[in-house]
Structure 1
Amino acid sequence: MADKIKLLLAEDEAALGQILKESLETRDFEVILCENGDKAFEKYKSESPEILVLDVMMPKKDGFTLAKEIRAIDDTIPIIFLTAKSQTTDVVEGFSIGGNDYLKKPFSIEELIVRVYNLVSRTKTQTHSEVITIGNYTFDFPKQHLKFKEGDHVQLTHREAHLLFHLIKNKNRVLERSVILNKLWGTDDFFSARSMDVFISKLRKKLSKDNTLQIINVRGFGYKLTD
């Protein structure tokens, strides 16, 4: 791949974490190394990695708990679990909470890299094929285009496109404010919430040619796109 893959590695064994970080960096990865689950969650929100490699047994917050919190706001980022455990129940739990792959220690760096490339490539392929019909509009998510029937397309900003994408994926269901704020703004504070309200207003205008589409404000909870 031409561009560096940004990878967040959460590993509490300092020596192993450093070895993995240096080995991945020599193979042209950008690695964010965290020694516990709390720090990893903060870095996930601020650094926007493309893939997560999480040790299961970590202080402050274990890998499974961290994955659950991330899956509550992000259902697409690939997650690989690292563990010394070998029980089938642990493997099942890892996949059931949203893990995409599982590596048992000890493992080779080459095996980890192959799995990372496979998951990132698969995720990019799925994302870049997202052309969605909503009402009388066609929404090309990768190109950030919104087109009304046979009319000219409207160019969306990066944040408008991602906000609309999440509204569509949750169509006719409430998209919780805190979830989307943490996902797109990295925080759910007052100023970010006001900013999101502005973006919602912009999307309403851009969808206004189809009066069957509505973005409803569900007070105290979030927004819902209906058609």
Structure 2
Amino acid sequence: MSPLKVLIIEDDLNICELITLYIEKQGHIAIVANEGEDGLIKFYDDQPDFVILDIMLPKVDGWEVCKEIRSENSVIPIIMLTGMGESYDKIRGLDLGADDYIVKPFDPNELIARMKAVLRRTNGLVDESENIEWPSLSINMKEFKVFIGGREVTMPPKELELLYFFTSHPNQVFSRLQLLDQIWGYDFDGDPRTIDVHVKRLREKLGQPTSKWALKTIRGVGYKFEVDVSD
């Protein structure tokens, strides 16, 4: 793998030093910011390949940093660091577009392993991707774009990956755990309600179901992308 530029946005200097050490041991380049505002400046100026982002930051917190990065339609992988164990905080980070999270205190080897897992998932998705076309719905994963009724609709990476997975497997029913495994990875230990949040957002953006397809809830089981194949 070519060296990556990894932006570490963390106000604890000891944690920054530890993460930097492990990042550089992997042959990557560490860029450090100790405030959210400075982190955004370095994001724009240095154009990193990966972001490790603390939630509790001075001036501009991690939620806002993540939101701004994703508002730029950036698909850069983001792992959030948090001292909070509540499922709401984890779901909020993932809903804003983070790819994974890790709770402090953590083993830096686990952080490196999670980085590699995120890179495998995101790189594998793009390498295997192709355009998906359904009536009034078009998905281009190489450019990370989705068009509904001919209009481009912005989606965070995880929403788009979930939609791509559904539309790639029409009329197949998937449980929440299966979807977590496919999109977030087998080692994700978050709340299955994460899927419900993302499906709700997808439905809001997809609008009213067409006569040809709909994102359906299968009560007691999970979800499926139902397609009319009668023609």
Alignment TM-score, normalising by the size of structure 2? 0.57
Asked if 1:66 corresponds to 2:33, the answer is: no
Instruction: Tell me which structure has the larger Cα radius of gyration.
Output: 1
| Structure 2 counterpart of 1:64, one-letter code | W
Aligned to 2:116: 117
- 1:173–1:3 CA distance, 2 compared to 1 (3 A): same
| Structure 2 counterpart of 1:173, one-letter code | R
- Partner of 2:151, secondary structure, is coil
Aligned to 1:3: 2
Aligned to 2:50: 51
| Structure 1 counterpart of 2:77, one-letter code | P
Aligned to 1:86: 85
- Partner of 2:52, secondary structure, is strand
Aligned to 1:20: 19
| Distance (Å, rounded) in 2 between the aligned partners of 1:32 and 1:60 | 19
Asked if 1:169 corresponds to 2:146, the answer is: yes
Residue-pair matches, total? 147
* TM-fit CA distance, 1:175: 7.7
- Partner of 1:52, secondary structure, is strand
* TM-fit CA distance, 1:111: 0.1
Aligned to 2:103: 104
CA RMSD of aligned residues (A): 2.5
Q: Which runs of 5+ in 2 are unaligned?
A: 134-139, 155-231
- Partner of 1:122, secondary structure, is helix
Per-residue CA deviations over 1:116-172 (Å, capped at 9, x if unaligned) read: 0111121112222344489xxxxx997xxxxxxxxxxxxxxxxxxxxxx36x53462
- Partner of 1:53, secondary structure, is strand
| Structure 2 counterpart of 1:169, one-letter code | V
Per-residue CA deviations over 1:174-222 (Å, capped at 9, x if unaligned) read: 589xxxxxxxxxxxxxxxxxxxxxxxxxxxxxxxxxxxxxxxxxxxxxx
8 A Cα contact 2:18 2:108, kept in partner: no
8 A Cα contact 2:146 2:152, kept in partner: no
| Distance (Å, rounded) in 1 between the aligned partners of 2:117 and 2:61 | 25
Asked if 1:36 corresponds to 2:35, the answer is: yes
| Distance (Å, rounded) in 1 between the aligned partners of 2:29 and 2:37 | 20
8 A Cα contact 1:76 1:123, kept in partner: no
- 1:27–1:174 CA distance, 2 compared to 1 (3 A): closer
* TM-fit CA distance, 1:54: 0.3
| Distance (Å, rounded) in 1 between the aligned partners of 2:30 and 2:54 | 15
| Distance (Å, rounded) in 1 between the aligned partners of 2:91 and 2:141 | 33
- 1:170–1:35 CA distance, 2 compared to 1 (3 A): farther
Q: Which runs of 5+ in 1 are unaligned?
A: 135-139, 143-164, 177-227
- 1:93–1:141 CA distance, 2 compared to 1 (3 A): closer
Q: Which runs of 4+ in 1 moved over 4 A?
A: none
